[in-house]
Chains A and B, each alone.
Chain A
Amino acid sequence: MIRTENLVKSFNDRIVLNNITTVFEQGKTNLIIGQSGSGKTVLLKSLVGLHPIDSGSIYYDDVCFSDLNFKDLKRIRKDIGMIFQGGALLDSSTVEDNVKLPLDLFTNQTEEEKLERVNFCLNRVELLNANQRYPAEISGGMVKRVAIARAIVLNPKYLFCDEPNSGLDPVTSCVIDNLIKEITQEYQITTIINTHDMNSVMEIGDKIVYIHKGNKWWEGSNDDILRSDNKELNEFVFASAMAKRAKLATL
C-alpha cells in the first residue's frame, strides 16, 4: 500500500501538485488520470522519488519514503519496478541483458539461475525467441513487454507504470492492460498506472484518482465513474460523443 499525505510539489513557484492525500491499495490496479498538464506524471515521479517533494509525506506501507536517507532509499528501490512511457530499455543491451540487469546488480545468483529467471519473466509476458534482439529491433508492444519483464524480475512490491499504452494499438493496449492486472493480482503488488486511456480506466481501474489542475478532484472505482456527477470528471472521461452515449445507455 502507498499513501500520500498533503503532498505538495512546485516548479519555479508554480504549484503543480496541491495537497494530494490519497491511498493506493495493494493487489489492486490504481489509476491516476487527468488531462495533459494536470500533474499526473509529476505525481507518479514524485511517488518514486524522481522529483523531490516540497512538503507532505509519502508512505510505502509503514515506511515514510519521503524521509528516507540515500542508503535506505536505495534499499527500498529494489522493491520498486517501473514501466516508462517509452519503455526506457538500454539501447546497447539485448532484451535478455536488459531484463537480467537488476539480477546482475542486486543478486548473487549463478548465471544459470539468472537466465532461468529472465526466461520465466519473458515467458510471463509472452515474449518468446527475442532474447538476443536489441530494443531497436522489436516492436513498440514488445518493448513494453520487455519493460514489464524487467520491472517484475526482482519480484517488486510496488509497480509504477507511466502511460503503458501510449503509442500502442487498441488490441495491444488491452493485452498490456490485462498483463499488468494479472501480475498485480498474482503477486499482490501495489500497482499505480498513470494513463489517459479510457479503455484502461473502464477495464482495469480498481481505484481511480482524478487529478485536475494539480488537485485531487475525485477518487473511486471504474463502476463509480459511471454514476459520478462530478462535472470536470465527466467532461474528461466522457469527452467523446460515443462515450457520452455509452454512459447514457449504461445508466
Chain B
Amino acid sequence: MRFFEFLGKYYILMTKVFSKPEKIKIYRKRILFEVEALGFNSIGIAAIISIFMGAVVTLQMSINLESPFIPQVLIGYATREVMIMEFSSTVVALILAGKVGSNIASEIGTMRITEQIDALEIMGVNSAGYLILPKIIATVLFFPFLTILSIGIGCAGGYFVAMFTGIMNPDTYIDGLKMDFKPFSITYSLIKTAVFAAIITSISGFYGYYAKGNSLEVGKASTKAVVVSSITILIFNLIITQLILIG
C-alpha cells in the first residue's frame, strides 16, 4: 500500500517538476549552477574511485587469468569491458547516489523545514520545478561526461599497474584495450548513466521535498533517498541491460 502511495506522490511531484517553467532564463542559470555543484564537484570522487578500481581489476584479472593458454592481451580487454559495461555507469552511479543524492535530499529537506519552499510557493513560484528540474537536467547532461572520464581514468589505472608492478607488458595491456572494441558499448553505458542520473535526482528531490518535522527527519529523508535510489538503480540496470543488450 505504501509503495503505491509513494508512486502516486512521486508521479504528482514529477508532473509539477516537468510543468512549464516560469522563466527559461532563470532555469538556465540554475542549471549551470547545478552542473557545478552536482557535476564538477563529483569529478574528484569519480576519478579517485575509477583509478583504483581500474588498477584492482587489472591486478585481479592478471592473477585469475595466469595460464599459458590465455593470452595476456585479454587482461586489458577485460578491464576495458568491466569499466565500460558496469563500473563506470552502475557503480559510479551508486557512489553518486550516496554523494549527490544525500546532498539533494538534505538541501531540499532543509529548505522545506525552514519554510523556504513555502516562501517560494507564496511568491507564486512552482517550487518543485524551480528546485528539482535544474538538478535533473544538470545531472542527466553532466553525468555521462563523468562516465567517459571514469572509463578513461579506470583504464589508465590498469596501465599504471601494468607499468609499475611488472605483472604484464604495458604495451600488451594497451593492445588489449584496443581489442575488439564495439562503440555501441559506450552508447549503452551512457544511456544507463543518463537514466541513473534522473533516478538519483528525482528520488532524492522527492524525499527532500516531502520532508517534514525537524533536522532528524531531514537526516532520515536523506538516508531513505540514498537507499531507494540505489535499489532503483540496480533494478533499472537489469531492465536496461535486458532491453538494450538482449532485446
Which residues of A come within 8 Å of B, CB atoms? 45, 48, 50, 74-75, 77-78, 80-82, 84-86, 88-91, 101-102, 104-106, 160
Contacts and interface: CB of A to CB of B under 8 A. Distances in A.
Contact of A105 (B116, B121, B123): B123
B124 A77 contact: yes
Chain A interface secondary structure, helix, strand, loop or mixed?
mixed
B50 to A, nearest CB: 29
29 contacts: A48-B122, A50-B121, A50-B122, A75-B124, A77-B121, A77-B123, A77-B124, A82-B118, A82-B122, A84-B119, A86-B115, A88-B114, A88-B115, A88-B119, A89-B116, A89-B119, A90-B119, A91-B114, A91-B116, A101-B123, A102-B123, A104-B25, A104-B26, A105-B23, A105-B26, A105-B123, A105-B125, A106-B124, A160-B122
Given A88-B119, A106-B22, A78 B114 contact: no
Given A77-B123, A78-B124, A105-B123, A88 B26 contact: no
Contacts of B118: 45, 50, 82, 84, 88
Interface string B100-128: 00000000001100111011011111000
A48 B118 CA distance: 10
Contacts of B111: 90-91
Nearest to A147: B119
Contacts of A160: 122
A84 B124 contact: no
Interface residues of B, number: 16
A48 to B, nearest CB: 6
A45 B118 CA distance: 10
Interface centre among A80, A81, A88 (most CB of B within 10 A): A88
A16 B76 CA distance: 69
A117 B25 CA distance: 20
A194 B115 CA distance: 16
Given A86-B114, A88-B116, A105-B26, A80 B122 contact: yes
A102 B125 CA distance: 9
A106 to B, nearest CB: 7
Contacts of B121: 50, 77
Interface string B21-62: 011011000000000000000000000000000000000000
Contacts of A74: 124
Contacts of A106: 22, 123-124
Contacts of B110: 91
Contacts of A78: 123-124
A105 B115 contact: no
Contact of A90 (B25, B26, B116, B122): B116
B215 to A, nearest CB: 13
Contacts of A104: 23, 25-26
Given A48-B122, A74-B124, A105-B123, A84 B26 contact: no
A105 B26 CA distance: 7
Contacts of A77: 121-124
A45 B116 CA distance: 14
A82 B116 CA distance: 11
B122 to A, nearest CB: 4
Give me the 3 closest cross-chain CB pairs, A-B, nearest first: A77-B124, A88-B119, A88-B115
A91 B26 CA distance: 17
